[in-house]
Structure 1
């Protein structure tokens, strides 16, 4: 059938197919394989998926990973991934269909679940401040793309503590901040650090809802530094520009009350801020023009109800096809559609998966990971290395 169709018609059809189907279709013929592997086709396929909100999936992140088709929003299915581990794997970001996965600070990889291509990152040791008696504490991660150089980068921020005491939140030491560049396949230490980083970590705030993972918008990774009443410091959005590789000031919306807890999210690449008022109400704001304070617009408000009680955590995930609704995750346990016209919530029940989870949107794509290999090839390489090691022992 494909032989009877002009190549431009085949190309137009392929643009609209899921990435996993296209991976299988590479075996149809050499012309089809060349088309699907062409960088311009890969870029156009990704752009069309993002523009039409197609090929989207929700990643449920618990002890194991599950994937939910965004169009169906029905059953969660286990996601096959190479860093599966009995103690759990952390997914700390997604960008253009590539997931950033971590088992430990020495076992980090980039993985495209559609192409099953993986790239393990070189190990970068955590170095405590010289001459100080301390140990590493909480670690912040982020992942995204530097669009100016088409480079994918991982950011790691390490807190240091004097002791094992939970109350020691690391005010005494500067963080260690390093950036990994996929193009260079190396880590670089960032030495110009703002002093407020020392106050970033707060035990319950960052552990309870996985807020240590950077939110990518406008080429900048974002975290929230909780309010420090004892130091006279309010909520602050912390930004790191992946292109300039430096920390930047991020304007915040004018929330209705001083007593609120701030969180960040992203909707179609735009930064969102969520102002939570004593677990009773959450206002969701969107920054329509990145970096412009006046462009902050309140999108909607969520009220506590019988179905959503308490209202401890709210994060927007995606618009519906016609942009009349927003899918939100509540308390890391429930999904709901918020109707922007009627201002009402409707629960979405998804079967399978875990009882509690983090949730993140990712697109199915053909994007190649520079220097990456297929999962099957990596397993074979590991087996060969192990055989050589066993031979030497004999």
Structure 2
């Protein structure tokens, strides 16, 4: 009898130990691991099957984003710079960090496959092309590669989405890859929360040898279905525009595409802004506000989840915000600031909270500017670069566990450091 009671006590103690261990592991998974950097979490996957399963889950990857530190990513074509800029709560930029991932290698295999025959018989030809910055979202960086083959007289092109922290990437070919003359000239990449899908929206130009008869097409790529779909309604609406900006803004899953302004725009009262609902691929037109013609330059951004316009004159800037996305007439001027606030700097990016990354030349430098504050505030720390940069683009970047390989099918993986 005493032996049975002892065994029961041992069983109870073992059960309590197991429960305590499980409870402790759940606390670690829920409260501690989400605050750790990606490199550490990748190592921790080998601790146990439970940790591997938990850290690899999409739910954990999304939760981890809430604790990730926002930085600016800076990509330059010449010199080939791939850097991250972090900043503190006082808008001081910290020393730049090198991005430990070669973005160009996302396309290396595709280039070599296409050019293998040429290189075999003409080794003096060096594979080269143009890598363009499309955008960033949740730790993913989207790029577009174009290479013109002079021998075969065709253009090779494809998109790629990579996660520099995980050293992984997925390659996305052009729609209808047999048409080499189809080249993307404007694009957007991001996450559509209402349908839990990552998408690429692109305006492609169809080069047919006659510049006056070139046509364009709009296509949307869904990572969930892993395929392109053509948006004919967007093409019909956009026939009134000569050109569209590369910068595309998205608020509440609606994409806003604005026209490039020219000196003749005052004579074009039918100028519109195009809207595309990314959840349903529905197109909507928005009227071009007459008061915008009072300004020399107009730039669209997203600040605090609101569509925002930064308008400049010779001596000041006005910042307008669309307070209600369902009411196009709800534009409201947030504040006005002197041109001296920016000085020689040009705005190249905006944080989600409305702080502007400014860039100046000679010398090449970057600085965070808060236009809503008085110019007499304490100056912020700047970051300098030698020479002048040929900038590909800048974006908001966070380290994340979201794998581009998990976004769709037909993917590739590289594990390399530079």
TM range (shorter): 0.7 to 0.9
Partner of 2:172: 121
* Bigger Rg, which one: 2
TM-score w.r.t. length of structure 2: 0.69
CA contact (8 A) 1:96 1:363 kept: yes
Deviation of 1:121 after TM superposition, in Å, equals 0.8
Counterpart mapping for 1:31-180 below 5 A? 31-46=50-65, 48-49=66-67, 54-63=68-77, 64-71=80-87, 73-79=93-99, 80-84=101-105, 87-104=129-146, 106-125=157-176, 139-159=185-205, 175-180=216-221
1:149-207 per-position Cα deviation (integer Å, ceiling 9, x unaligned): 21211112124578777xx6xxx6653111111122111112123555235455xxx7x
Counterpart mapping for 1:1-394 below 5 A? 6-11=24-29, 12-46=31-65, 48-49=66-67, 54-63=68-77, 64-71=80-87, 73-79=93-99, 80-84=101-105, 87-104=129-146, 106-125=157-176, 139-159=185-205, 175-193=216-234, 195=236, 197-202=238-243, 211-227=245-261, 229=264, 231-233=267-269, 236-250=272-286, 255=291, 258-278=294-314, 280-305=315-340, 308-309=343-344, 313-315=346-348, 317-318=350-351, 326-330=355-359, 334-338=366-370, 340-342=372-374, 346=379, 348-352=381-385, 355-357=389-391, 358-369=393-404, 370-371=407-408, 375-376=413-414
Structure holding more helix per residue: 2
Aligned counterparts of 2:206 and 2:316: Cα–Cα separation in 1: 35
Aligned counterparts of 1:367 and 1:176: Cα–Cα separation in 2: 30
Aligned counterparts of 1:235 and 1:75: Cα–Cα separation in 2: 43
1:102-160 per-position Cα deviation (integer Å, ceiling 9, x unaligned): 112622111122222211113324899xxxxxx86871111122323212111121245
Partner of 2:111: none
Give the gaps of 5 or more residues in structure 2.
1-20, 108-127, 147-155
CA contact (8 A) 1:16 1:45 kept: yes
CA contact (8 A) 2:271 2:288 kept: no
SS in 2 for 1:15: helix
Deviation of 1:263 after TM superposition, in Å, equals 1.8
Give the gaps of 5 or more residues in structure 1.
129-134, 379-394
Aligned counterparts of 2:48 and 2:257: Cα–Cα separation in 1: 46
1:68-127 per-position Cα deviation (integer Å, ceiling 9, x unaligned): 243352233332134358644212112222221111262211112222221111332489
Aligned counterparts of 1:108 and 1:14: Cα–Cα separation in 2: 32
CA contact (8 A) 2:168 2:403 kept: yes
Aligned counterparts of 1:70 and 1:164: Cα–Cα separation in 2: 47
Partner of 2:10: none
TM-score w.r.t. length of structure 1: 0.73
Cα distance change on mapping 1:214 and 1:95 into 2, 3 Å: same
Aligned counterparts of 2:56 and 2:83: Cα–Cα separation in 1: 25
CA contact (8 A) 1:74 1:351 kept: no
Deviation of 1:252 after TM superposition, in Å, equals 6.4
Deviation of 1:377 after TM superposition, in Å, equals 6.8
1:278-332 per-position Cα deviation (integer Å, ceiling 9, x unaligned): 5x433222334434335434344443339723x6x4355116xxx6x72333468
Cα distance change on mapping 1:251 and 1:307 into 2, 3 Å: closer
